[in-house]
């Protein structure tokens, strides 16, 4: 796994660790705090927390970060697209929707974010919107009953916004 | 009611008292079950599931994480247990790089052993394809990590965390994607691994092994142009015999000298000699710092893993480290400097210096820029044993021989360097003499002895004619970290801190014969060293006649002289700066 390197603001990380008393039991909460700032976990942030909190090490924190699906080690795009692949969405055709998004935003295989940093794509297990299956969420806004055509139209609108 | 409790193993009623797990009860009563992840000095993990037993009424359980309760009936080898165990082995082997013949751990591998014992002659699952092998990490001077041989028992991760408090290795990902890695898949040489080798010592397979220098040493020995000199460390003598079915702790130094000559080494010296030299220098340094109240507490510097730990984790404390080279470094420096004086046919171009060490970090130490070009190769005890077997030498039948002079004689103080507490004890014996001009009457400083899990921090107060000095001894870096914390908080009241990174000291080093299945082996090895100390006519380093001769003839006649300083002392650098942790 390669991580995109970026300079991080250690003062912000210090504040997060301080808020959680530098207590290793609060590691997950700390990482959530970091993810809130950067939308992902920069490698330097993981190393920094692993070095500063007693009883942890960079490798240990990295282990926690890779264990939980909620943490991302890759930077997210401006538009975070989540395609629901829960049971209901799956049987109603979430995979064609996912592939349509992938094609439309020109996402390379094995990548999560497009090269221009505009879109990132992931699947989630269930959004709890099964009556709207197949569902998709972009930056918190839900798009119901997706089809390949709908995907194309929605993305076109977003692309236009960014022209 | 008496507190006698019993349970039933294979229908036989057995007693138990304070055993923490059913596995312990099983083993204490002459039964056994196979294990990979169980290591008595580490916490229970329950990862490998090989130790499963069938409990009547409750089905299959892992005995290593099962509390013993009175009256339970367990079966170690029922048809169901056997079937499951065999399947577990098959599944482990399915994901394993099955290249046993060319594996460094072949013959010492627990996976190989149990596969043979359980008659695994056919594995139903396809072999891991070569293109799917994970990359082998040969970047470190000490250890080789081959993740395709890992069975995820977690012993290395626990050793790194529970012994060294350091967790250089950790698990990443989960489920079938789980792997053991240094931070984000870096190589060992790119992180702050101290190369203690305890991960290797507890690894049941060839996933982590010692980086072998055997072939390089053979080619030097076979080169007629070269003169190959060897030195043997204190704790090797009480452990090497185990590779030849001798008891742990049996002192085989006479046989080791003899074996080394048979292997083709031209001169054989004893690192115990330079341990004595380390003491005369380090005690003089301690006394000087003590008088000037400068850079106290003094940290010992014999353990390269500890030195690297200070340099990478606490670079602001490097001035506390003794500037003395380790005994290995001192011996090689002396040999490089003065061997030609006593053996004119040895010169700087034809002399090769090899050391036999209990330690994987010593392989790293010789690559330090400050010590470059002194020691050429380090062989661990395990590698040295392999060479002896390789050469067809019947070790047990060897006659005792003596080391070559003038760097072969040693005192008991040099011998006990191999056990946690030994360096401090030896230093006290000599420092007392330097300060008072008198000899310490009782040389046995028993408070500093002991290598068990409860003796990882030991304190004693020495009364030097009314001046009291507290001396602290710790083994494992996790314990060392506690003392460093005290120091940083201004609470440290000790004048000297001896640190050995391996639990119990060098007797339990990462390059010693496998001893992770029995907690008592290191104590037996240490007892062997203390016995030699008792038996030797001289027990103080400053009385060693060869040491005195070296000072008179080569080092300006005085402990801590300028010549000695130039040759036997070293410097340390801040290794935190520009490391991956420097953010």
List pLDDT tens digits, range A8-37.
Answer: 899 999 999 999 999 999 999 999 999 999
Residue A5, pLDDT > 50, answer: no
Report d(CA B445, CA B460) in Å as an integer.
Answer: 8
Give the pLDDT confidence score for residue A109 in this predicted structure. Answer: 87
Cβ partners under 8 Å of residue B159, min gap 6? B39, B42, B198, B199, B201, B202
Give the pLDDT confidence score for residue A69 in this predicted structure. Answer: 87
| A120 within some domain | yes
State percent of chain B over pLDDT 90.
Answer: 95
Instruction: Indicate if A83 and A149 belong to the same structural domain.
Output: yes
Report d(CA B413, CA B448) in Å as an integer.
Answer: 13
Within B343-492, residue ranges assigned H as helices are 361-365, 381-390, 412-415, 422-436, 477-488
Among the candidates A47, A67, A87, a domain finishes at A67
Six-digit token string for B128: 């891991």
Q: Closest Cα of chain B to A52: distance in Å?
A: 10
Give the pLDDT confidence score for residue A163 in this predicted structure. Answer: 81
We report the CATH number of the domain holding residue A32 as 1.10.10
Instruction: Indicate if A100 and A154 belong to the same structural domain.
Output: yes
| A74 within some domain | no
Q: Do B581 and A51 touch (CB under 8 A)?
A: yes
Out of B174, B183, B191, the one facing A67 most closely (by C-beta) is B174
Domain count along chain A: 2
Instruction: Indicate if A53 and A85 belong to the same structural domain.
Output: no
Give the pLDDT confidence score for residue A6 in this predicted structure. Answer: 52
Q: Is A58 on the interface with B (CB under 8 A)?
A: yes
Six-digit token string for B546: 């060869």
- Best of B156, B162, B170, B199 to disrupt the A interface (most A CBs within 10 Å) is B170
Among the candidates A45, A67, A89, a domain finishes at A67
Residue B194, judged by CB atoms within 10 A of its CB (0-12, 13-18, 19+), counts as buried
Instruction: Indicate if A60 and A91 belong to the same structural domain.
Output: no
Residue B1, pLDDT > 80, answer: no
Cβ partners under 8 Å of residue B184, min gap 6? A1, A3, A43, A46, A58, A62, B172
The two beta strands, B351-357 and B377-380, are: parallel
Instruction: Indicate if A54 and A125 belong to the same structural domain.
Output: no
Instruction: Indicate if A51 and A115 belong to the same structural domain.
Output: no
Q: What is the three-state SS of B107-123?
A: CCCHHHHHHHHCCCCCC
pLDDT-derived band at A111 (thresholds 50, 70, 90) equals confident
Cβ partners under 8 Å of residue B449, min gap 6? B419, B421, B425, B455, B458, B526, B530
Residue B222, pLDDT > 50, answer: yes
Instruction: Indicate if A84 and A118 belong to the same structural domain.
Output: yes
Closest residue on chain A to B576 (Cα)? A51
Six-digit token string for B398: 């060897």
pTM: 0.93
Instruction: Indicate if A83 and A157 belong to the same structural domain.
Output: yes
Closest residue on chain A to B314 (Cα)? A51
Instruction: Indicate if A94 and A60 belong to the same structural domain.
Output: no
| A73 within some domain | no
| A72 within some domain | no
Query: If you average pLDDT over every residue of chain B, what do you get?
Result: 95
Domain range spanning residue A33? 10-67
Among the candidates A67, A90, A116, a domain finishes at A67
Instruction: Indicate if A101 and A62 belong to the same structural domain.
Output: no
Question: Using a CB-CB distance cutoff of 8 angstroms, which residues of chain A are in contact with residue B183?
Answer: 46-47, 50, 57-59, 62
HSE-up (13 A, CA, CB side) for residue A43:
15
Instruction: Indicate if A95 and A49 belong to the same structural domain.
Output: no
HSE-up (13 A, CA, CB side) for residue A82:
15
Domains, chain B, in order of start with CATH, read: 5-87 (3.10.20.740), 95-210 (3.30.70.20), 215-568 (3.40.50.1780)
Q: Edge to edge, what strands does the sheet with B496-500 contain?
A: B298-299, B496-500, B467-475, B457-464
Instruction: Indicate if A61 and A96 belong to the same structural domain.
Output: no
CA dihedral (B270, B274, B275, B280) positive or negative = positive
We report the CATH number of the domain holding residue A117 as 3.40.30.10
Report d(CA B67, CA B347) in Å as an integer.
Answer: 64
Q: Is A3 on the interface with B (CB under 8 A)?
A: yes
| A5 within some domain | no
Question: Using a CB-CB distance cutoff of 8 angstroms, which residues of chain B are in contact with residue A58?
Answer: 183-184, 191, 580-581
Residue B27, pLDDT > 70, answer: yes
């Amino acid at each position: 796994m390669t991580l995109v390197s970026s300079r991080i603001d250690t003062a912000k990380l210090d504040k997060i660790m301080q808020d959680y008393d530098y207590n290793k039991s609060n590691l997950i909460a700390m990482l959530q705090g970091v993810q809130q700032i950067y939308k992902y976990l920069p490698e330097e942030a993981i190393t920094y927390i692993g070095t500063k909190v007693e009883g942890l090490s960079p490798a240990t924190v990295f282990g926690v970060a890779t264990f939980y699906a909620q943490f991302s080690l890759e930077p997210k795009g401006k538009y975070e697209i989540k395609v629901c692949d829960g049971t209901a969405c799956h049987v109603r055709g979430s995979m064609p929707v996912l592939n349509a998004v992938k094609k439309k935003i020109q996402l390379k295989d094995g990548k999560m974010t497009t090269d221009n940093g505009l879109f990132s794509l992931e699947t989630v297990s269930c959004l709890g919107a099964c009556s709207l299956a197949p569902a998709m969420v972009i930056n918190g806004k839900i798009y119901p009953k997706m089809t390949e055509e709908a995907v194309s139209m929605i993305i076109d609108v977003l692309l236009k916004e960014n022209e | 009611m008496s507190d006698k409790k019993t349970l039933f193993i294979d229908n036989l009623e057995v007693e138990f008292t304070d055993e923490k797990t059913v596995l312990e009860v099983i083993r204490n009563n002459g039964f056994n079950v196979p294990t990979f992840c169980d290591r008595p000095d580490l916490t229970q993990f329950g990862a490998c599931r090989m130790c499963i037993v069938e409990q009547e009424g409750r089905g299959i359980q892992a005995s290593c994480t099962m509390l013993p309760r009175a009256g339970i009936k367990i079966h170690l080898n029922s048809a169901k247990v056997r079937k499951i165990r065999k399947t577990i082995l098959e599944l482990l082997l399915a994901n394993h790089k099955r290249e046993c013949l060319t594996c460094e751990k072949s013959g010492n591998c627990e996976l190989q052993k149990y596969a043979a014992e359980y008659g695994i002659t056919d594995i139903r699952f396809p072999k891991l394809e070569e293109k799917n092998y994970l990359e082998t990490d040969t970047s470190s001077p000490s250890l080789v990590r081959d993740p395709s041989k890992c069975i995820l028992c977690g012993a290395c991760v626990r050793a790194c965390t529970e012994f060294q408090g350091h967790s250089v290795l950790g698990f990443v990902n989960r489920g079938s994607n789980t792997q053991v890695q240094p931070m984000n898949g870096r190589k060992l040489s790119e992180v702050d691994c101290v190369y203690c080798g305890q991960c290797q010592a507890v690894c049941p397979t060839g996933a982590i092994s010692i980086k072998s220098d055997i072939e390089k040493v053979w080619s030097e020995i076979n080169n007629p142009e070269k003169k190959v000199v060897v030195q043997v460390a204190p704790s090797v003598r009480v452990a090497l015999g185990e590779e030849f079915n001798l008891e742990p702790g049996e002192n085989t130094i006479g046989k080791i000298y003899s074996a080394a000559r048979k292997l083709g080494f031209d001169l054989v010296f004893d690192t115990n000699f330079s341990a004595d030299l380390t003491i005369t220098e380090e005690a003089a340094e301690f006394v000087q710092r003590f008088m000037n109240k400068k850079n106290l507490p003094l940290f010992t510097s014999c353990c390269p893993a500890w030195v690297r730990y200070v340099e990478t984790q606490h670079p602001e404390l490097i001035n506390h480290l003794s500037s003395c080279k380790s005994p290995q470094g001192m011996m090689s420096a002396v040999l490089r400097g003065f061997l030609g004086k006593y053996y004119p046919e040895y010169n700087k171009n034809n002399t090769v210096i090899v050391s036999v060490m209990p330690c994987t970090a010593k392989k790293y130490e010789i690559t330090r820029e400050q010590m470059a070009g002194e020691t050429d190769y380090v062989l661990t005890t395990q590698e040295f044993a392999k060479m002896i077997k390789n050469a067809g030498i019947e070790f047990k039948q060897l006659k005792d021989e003596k080391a070559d002079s003038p760097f072969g004689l040693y005192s008991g103080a040099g011998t006990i360097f191999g056990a946690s507490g030994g360096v401090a004890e030896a230093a006290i014996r000599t420092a007392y003499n330097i300060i008072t001009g008198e000899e310490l009457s009782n040389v046995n400083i028993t408070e500093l002895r002991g290598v068990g899990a409860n003796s990882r921090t030991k304190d004693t107060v020495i009364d030097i004619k009314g001046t009291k000095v507290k001396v602290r001894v710790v083994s494992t870096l996790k314990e060392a970290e506690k003392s460093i914390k005290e120091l940083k908080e201004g609470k440290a009241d000790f004048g000297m801190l001896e640190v050995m990174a391996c639990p119990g000291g060098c007797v339990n080093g990462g390059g010693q014969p496998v001893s992770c299945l029995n907690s008592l082996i290191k104590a037996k090895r240490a007892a062997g060293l203390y016995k030699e100390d008792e038996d030797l006519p001289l027990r103080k380093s400053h009385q060693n006649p060869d040491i005195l001769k070296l000072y008179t003839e080569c080092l300006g006649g005085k402990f801590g002289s300028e010549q000695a300083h130039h040759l036997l002392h070293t410097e340390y650098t801040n290794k935190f700066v520009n490391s991956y942790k420097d953010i």
